[in-house]
Amino acid sequence: MKLSIISEHFQDDSSYGLAETFRRIAQIGFDGVDYTLVPVTGKKVYNPFEDEKGWRAHFKKASEEIKKNGLTCEQVHAVFPTNKENQGINFIGDEEVELMKKQIEATEILGAPYMVVHSINIARNYSDLDLDYEANMDMLSKFVPLFEKSSVSLALENIFKSDPLRDRFCITGSSTPERLCRLIDDAHSDSVVACLDTGHAHLVGVNPEAFVKILGKRLKVLHVQDCYGRGDHHNAPGCGNIDWHKFTTALAQIGYDGALNLEVSFKREMKIHPELGWDYMKYAYKAGRALINLVEKAKSTK
Amino acid sequence: MKIGAIFSPAVQRHFDHDYACKRYREAGIECLDYSLYGVYAIPSEIFSSSRNEWTKEFAERKKIIEGNGLFVNQTHGTYPTNYLSFRDSDWKSKYMKETELDLFKKQIEVASILGAKYIVIHPINHCKNDIEWEENRLLNLDAFSRLEPILREFNVQLGVENMFEHDPVRRRFCKTGCSTPEDMIDLIDTLNASLSSDRFVACLDTGHMLIQSISPDKAVKKLGSRLKLLHVQDNVALSDDHCAPGIGFTDWKAFALALKEVGYDGAFSVEAGLDQPAIIDKELIFDYIEYTAKASRRVIELAEVK
């Protein structure tokens, strides 16, 4: 099983830049990367697609640097939110479709088989479930034909929502395995698969291992991250209270054959010192390898 | 400033002292916060053995620790301090029992054997928010006063730590008898003045303080010269996560500057939770300790950056 890591927080030029980022990721020992198409560093958004003429060259450069260091691009992360959630717009318009076309092309340049796309989040607990489903199916109907023409699959991720009335996080339209399976299955396309974010599941009281078992063969992509169930903190495994033995056993049980991808946040560590982000990544690497060992052990005792 | 780390029950359970100390030193740790407790509310079995046995054992451990280039800066006693009565609802039943006092006598002596200047013995947590705070204060003044002659005998100082409680009605963590810098100062100053003593100092737990919505740097400034030891840990201000610095929301630059401002001359000792990494793989403890050592150095450096 390959071990990959998110490159956001490091990859843009205001941070370490592409060449140094992938050199160091390879040096730590990772096999692959999870490339963020539009990274946010600090409060600044680095959107290569704003450069109409230059964005393809940017991704070619990124691809070259990834390959030069013996890494593979295991997956990319699309811009989120997928819809104009912050403007109160639920349904996907022409602007998002055009952006998605570019993102698919960029993913192909990077050679990644999967693009993680956030589901649209409208439902809170059991309210607005129908509208949530309708908006997600609308999104999939517009995006899936684009993916089907490409070498990239759309990996739909489980998301959560904040419930301001009850001052807590809550489930939305993709937060439970059953709801995520329904969206994927109703897309009726081999180009739609599941991305499980372990922390998002834990945050809303869904066991990641239960998620794995129900997703089964749909599960192709992971966002492995830990938390204490009180916030979406994207900690390295072991810096939270997810039961990793159960999770890795479940991966072995379903025959998961994708990468073990760590979606750890380095922002807070890098605020102390940029180099501390790398030190935390070294710990994350060891934790990731330990999880892979647990998967292999579970496979051998199956 | 020396970099320290908790030498926790998980470390002591999984590894022999020589191997663990070697790995701590390699990871960049210079001194230990040695845990004398094992399981919550249950004293370690070693203290049931004869005095001759446990004194010999800890003297041996000290040699191993020092042989690996480390020293014990501080120890941590069994908790909760009133482990025989902590579930009782009546505050009067929570006065320190002779059995508890006897255990802490042994643990203070062990701190001395290990060469530690300090032992942390938790204040008793009785009140939630301010209800029965005065009664809680009496419990702590009584317990610590009874420990004072022993501290004096073995030349060990007691780090009074800031604690928290859980409020089940409001479903959140809350203040208890010794939670704020003012609570700590009150206990330390009252005990030292009334007993003509210098045995009581402050141990600031950064994470416990953040849970109370008090920034650790502000606590440092209020504690001033009373502050002699630390439990450095990070969290997201909601729960007692005991993460290494950087993994939570603490303002570490402000904290480092505050330590510099008060002239703190103790160790930068991290009390990170090691159980969770150990569950994945016991060796992962040392990778996490290595990160905590590096994070500690970076935090200390923040006070030097203009």
3-state secondary structure A219-275: EEEEEECECCCCCCCCECCCCCCCCHHHHHHHHHHHCCCCCEEECCCCHHHHHHCHH
What is the gyration radius of the CA atoms in chain B, in angstroms?
18
Window A:67-106, CB contacts with B under 8 Å: none
Which residues in chain B are closer than 8 Å to A295, comparing Cβ atoms?
A: none
pLDDT at residue B306 in the model: 55
Chain-chain contact of A230 with B238 (C-beta, under 8 angstroms): yes
Q: Across the interface, which of B236, B245, B284 has its CB nearest the CB of A272?
A: B245
Poorest-pLDDT segment among A68-72, A166-170, B296-300: A166-170
Q: Which of B280, B301, B302 to mutate to test the interface with A (most CBs of A within 10 A)?
A: B280
Tell whether the model's pLDDT for residue A41 goes beyond 60.
yes
Residues 6 or more apart whose Cβ sits within 8 Å of residue A140: A154, A156, A183, A186, A187, A189, A192
Chain-chain contact of A231 with B284 (C-beta, under 8 angstroms): no
pLDDT at residue A120 in the model: 95
Task: Give the helix ranges, DSSP H, for chain B.
Answer: 9-14, 17-27, 51-67, 98-114, 133-154, 181-194, 206-211, 216-223, 252-262, 275-280, 284-302
Per residue in B54-102, pLDDT tens? 999 999 999 999 999 999 999 999 999 999 999 999 999 999 999 999 9
Q: How far is CA A90 from the centre of its chain?
A: 21
Among chain B, residues having any CB pair with chain A shorter than 8 Å are 236, 238-239, 241, 243-249, 252-253, 276-277, 279-281, 283-284, 287-288, 290-291, 294-295, 298-299, 301-302
pLDDT at residue A254 in the model: 98
pLDDT at residue B171 in the model: 85
Q: Across the interface, which of B236, B284, B302 has its CB nearest the CB of A233?
A: B236
Q: Across the interface, which of A228, A235, A286 has its CB nearest the CB of B239?
A: A228
Helix (H, G, I), strand (E, B) or coil at B24: helix
Residue A142 and residue A94: Cα distance in Å, rounded?
Answer: 9
- Closest residue, chain B, to A229 (C-alpha): B239
Shortest Cα distance from B69 to chain A (angstroms)? 24
Q: Provide, rounded to the nearest whole percent, the portion of chain A with pLDDT above 90.
A: 90
Chain-chain contact of A280 with B291 (C-beta, under 8 angstroms): yes
Shortest Cα distance from B252 to chain A (angstroms)? 7
Does A281 touch chain B if contact means CB atoms closer than 8 Å?
no
So what's the ipTM on this one? 0.92
Once rounded to an integer, what is the mean pLDDT over residues A137-158? 98
Chain-chain contact of B290 with A283 (C-beta, under 8 angstroms): yes
What residues are paired with B268 via a beta bridge? B3
Task: Count the neighbouring beta carbons within 10 Å of the beta carbon of residue B49.
Answer: 13
What secondary structure, in 3-state letters, does B105-162 show? HHHHHHHHHHCCCEEECCCCCCCECCECHHHHHHHHHHHHHHHHHHHHHHCCEEEEEC
Q: What's this model's pTM, rounded to 2 decimal places?
A: 0.94
- Closest residue, chain A, to B273 (C-alpha): A239
Chain-chain contact of A273 with B253 (C-beta, under 8 angstroms): no
pLDDT at residue B305 in the model: 64
Chain-chain contact of B238 with A286 (C-beta, under 8 angstroms): no
Helix (H, G, I), strand (E, B) or coil at B39: strand
Tell whether the model's pLDDT for residue A127 goes beyond 90.
yes
Once rounded to an integer, what is the mean pLDDT over residues A93-122? 97
Shortest Cα distance from A280 to chain B (angstroms)? 6
Once rounded to an integer, what is the mean pLDDT over residues A18-31? 98
pLDDT at residue B296 in the model: 98
Chain-chain contact of A238 with B238 (C-beta, under 8 angstroms): no
Tell whether the model's pLDDT for residue A87 goes beyond 90.
no
Would you state the structure tokens that stand for residue A5, as one six-digit string? 């890591």
Q: What CA–CA distances, in Å, run from A300 to A253, A288, A291, A293?
A: 11, 19, 14, 11
Per residue in A175-189, pLDDT tens? 999 999 999 999 999
Shortest Cα distance from A110 to chain B (angstroms)? 31
Shortest Cα distance from A67 to chain B (angstroms)? 28
Shortest Cα distance from A165 to chain B (angstroms)? 16
Which residues of chain B carry a pLDDT beneath 70? 305-306
Q: Report which of A238, A3, A15, A226 is spatially closest to residue B291, judged by C-alpha positions.
A: A238
